[in-house]
Structure formats: C-alpha cells, structure tokens
C-alpha cells in the first residue's frame, strides 16, 4: 500500500495539472469564475431560509448559518459521488496512453470538489463570524475533519468509478440513493426535531452524520464535537478506504478492457 501511495505521489505534477485544467476549463470565459461555486449554496440558503423561517417561525439569524453549512457540505457529497462515477471514463484517454496508478483519476475528481468545498466553507466561517462570532481553537478541529472528508471522498470516488465502468447504471442509481440520503440527513432540519422517533434513531446509523457534526459544531457552536464523533468518522473512513484499496487492487489491471 505504501509503495502504491508513493507511486501516486510521484505523479503529483500530473494529477495536479489535471485538477488545474479542470478548474480552468470549467470557468473559462465566465464573469464570476469560481464564484459560481458559491452562488448555488447562497441562493438555496436564501430561498429555503425564507420559506422555513416563514412557515415554522424560526430565527433567520440562527437558521441561515446552520442551513448554509449543511448545504455546503452536501454539495461536496454530491460532487464526489456524481463526478466520481465518471472519473475513470473522464480519464480514459490518459489511461490508454500514460501508465500511472489508477487512483489518481478519482483523486483528480475529489481535489476539484474539495477546492470548491473549502472556498464555500471559508465563506460559512466568515458569515458565522460576522453574525455570531467564532472561536479560533474549535476551528482547529476542522483540519482533521477536512482530511477525513478528503480520504472518504477519494475512497467513494474509487468505488463508484470502478462500479460504473462495469455497470453503466451506477450513476443513475446513485442519484436516487442521494435523494433519499438527503432527507435522511439533517441538512435542512436540526436533528433534535426528530427526537427519539424512528427517523431520529436512523440518524444514529447514518454514515454521513459524524462528518456533518465535525464541520458544524466548531463553526456554529464554537466547540469541538466529542472524541467519539471523530472516532466514528475515522472508523467509517477506514472501512471505505479498505474497500476501495481492495477493489482497486483486483480491478486496476482489468480496468482498461472495460472502458
């Protein structure tokens, strides 16, 4: 495994250039540039905050940062899963010509999504800081959370990319699963609303919950989540990373024949 990671690191100039090329291609000729990645969560936060605060008499100054942080996180989840399905097909021309570790193509996808995510998350911190104030020490807890999210996204992109190469319906099935998962994750609503109901109990087994708490609590509540939250996130990442490494080990040499 370490030898494989060293091979990935050796190709760092190649996959970093792919990430830069993707970003330049996506925003070439646009007026706002990477600002477009911020526009979606800002607009959705404004619309949903207006509706929810009107219908349920919520405090907009409390709910808007909560929603903005959740939507920023969810956009990263969407990007990693939806684009991850196509990561190997997107890199097919390079795969056929350049003998590099296949893991660099999911990494290319995840780093692009992570760039937009970090930009949006910085705006979340600025917004919360201007309305509530933030504490510096709890914000340090974001760094292990971001590292875990990067490894988790890389692992998910590897698994979905390999699956989509063999089964072309993977991307469509993923969209359906994401729709269900969106409402099963407290992006729009506080988890306390569900209490001890069955849906509330389902949140305890939702694999996305630890990562959402690791991001929200240092920013919104100015406190670090319990150590158990980080341990749960680490265990989930270890499981997905192990599955991704195993799948890549057995499918890497056969991948070119299925593209």
**208 contact partners, CB below 8 Å, separation of at least 6:** 77, 181, 185
| Alpha-carbon span 65 to 32, nearest angstrom | 23
Residues 38-68 have pLDDT tens digits of: 888 888 888 888 887 777 777 778 888 888 9
DSSP type of residue 190: -
Is the predicted pLDDT of residue 169 greater than 70, yes or no? yes
Residue 5: its pLDDT value, please?
87
| Alpha-carbon span 223 to 252, nearest angstrom | 42
SS3 28: coil
Distance separating the N- and C-terminal Cα atoms of the chain: 25
Please state the domain extents for the chain. 32-258
| Alpha-carbon span 53 to 60, nearest angstrom | 6
Average pLDDT (215-233) is: 91
More confident residue, 202 or 147: 147
Average pLDDT (234-249) is: 94
Q: Contact, 107 vs 18, CB < 8 A?
A: no
Percent of the chain with pLDDT over 90: 39
**67 contact partners, CB below 8 Å, separation of at least 6:** 45, 48, 49, 52, 187, 188
């Amino acid at each position: 495994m370490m030898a494989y990671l060293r091979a990935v690191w050796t190709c760092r100039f190649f996959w970093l250039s792919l990430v830069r090329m993707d970003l330049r291609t996506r925003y070439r000729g646009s007026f706002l540039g990477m600002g477009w990645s911020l526009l979606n969560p800002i607009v959705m936060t404004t619309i949903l905050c207006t509706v929810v605060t009107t219908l349920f008499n919520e405090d907009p100054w409390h709910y808007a940062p909560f929603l903005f942080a959740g939507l920023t996180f969810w956009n990263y989840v969407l990007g990693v899963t939806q684009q991850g399905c196509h990561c190997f097909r997107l890199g097919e021309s390079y795969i056929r010509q350049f003998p590099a570790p296949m893991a660099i193509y999911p990494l290319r996808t995840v780093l692009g999504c992570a760039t937009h995510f970090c930009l949006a998350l910085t705006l979340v911190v600025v917004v919360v800081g201007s309305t509530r104030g933030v504490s510096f020490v709890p914000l340090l807890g974001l760094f292990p959370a971001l590292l875990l999210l990067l490894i988790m996204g890389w692992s998910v992109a590897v698994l979905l990319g390999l699956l989509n190469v063999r089964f072309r319906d993977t991307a469509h099935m993923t969209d359906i699963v994401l729709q269900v998962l969106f409402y099963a994750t407290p992006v729009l609503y506080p988890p306390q609303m569900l209490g001890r109901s069955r849906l509330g109990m389902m949140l305890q087994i939702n694999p996305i919950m630890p990562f959402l708490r690791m991001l929200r609590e240092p920013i919104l509540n100015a406190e670090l989540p319990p150590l158990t939250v980080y341990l749960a996130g680490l265990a989930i990442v270890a499981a997905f990373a192990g599955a991704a490494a195993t799948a890549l080990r057995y499918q890497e040499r056969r991948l070119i024949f299925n593209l």
